[in-house]
Amino acid sequence: MTLANLLSESQIVPELASKERWSAIAELVDSLVESEKISAADREDVLLSIRQREETMSTGIGFGIAIPHASSFKVDEVVAAFGRSSGGVQFESLDGEPVFFIVLFVVPKDQFQTHLRTLAAIAKFLNDRAVRGDLASAPDASAILRIFESRSTR
């Protein structure tokens, strides 16, 4: 499984409207509802799961990256959304800096190994400074998706 397999253009927000953590998370969950990866009826439950996880420790891991995530009975497969903010989102990151790239994902409950593998794959992908540079300069969701696709084959 690669990030490219988890994303479609409708799950990519090329410029987040939100400037703070909770509204950015909601904006990305809304993209999952709009792309029918999460039902509208399950939106609040999924948001609550992510919020509970996020309150234990911020998933703003540094280098302008955040990876909010949770497990939930409301999904049958891993679902993900990507958001970019040129101005930065205040995310209470571990380094105290704003976040420019957010990958949100939800895995089915009781799939701990899948959860860890997904988290590791995202962190490894975004750890590459060249990838972050390419994502920062991509003009739209289509170009962002192409970056995920081209980098996942390397």
Options 6, 24, 37, 69, the catalytic residue: 69
Instruction: Copy the structure tokens of residue 34.
Output: 């709009």
Q: Which residues contact 44 (CB under 8 A, 6 or more apart)?
A: none
69 has catalytic annotation: yes
Instruction: Copy the structure tokens of residue 74.
Output: 């409301």
Question: What pLDDT was estimated at residue 22?
Answer: 97
Question: What pLDDT was estimated at residue 1?
Answer: 61
Q: What pTM was computed for the model?
A: 0.94
Question: What pLDDT was estimated at residue 3?
Answer: 76
What is the rounded CA–CA span in Å between residue 80 and residue 78? 7
What is the chain's pLDDT, residue by residue, as a tens digit (154 residues)? 677 889 999 999 999 999 999 999 999 999 999 999 999 999 999 999 999 999 999 999 999 999 999 999 999 999 999 999 999 999 999 999 999 999 999 999 989 888 888 888 898 899 999 999 999 999 999 999 999 998 765 4
Question: What pLDDT was estimated at residue 107?
Answer: 94
Domains of the chain, by residue range, sit at: 3-152
Q: Nearest to residue 72, comparing CAs of 38, 122, 22, 116?
A: 38
Q: Which residue has the tokens 């939100």?
A: 18
Question: What pLDDT was estimated at residue 154?
Answer: 46
Please give the CATH number for the structural domain made up of 3-152.
3.40.930.10
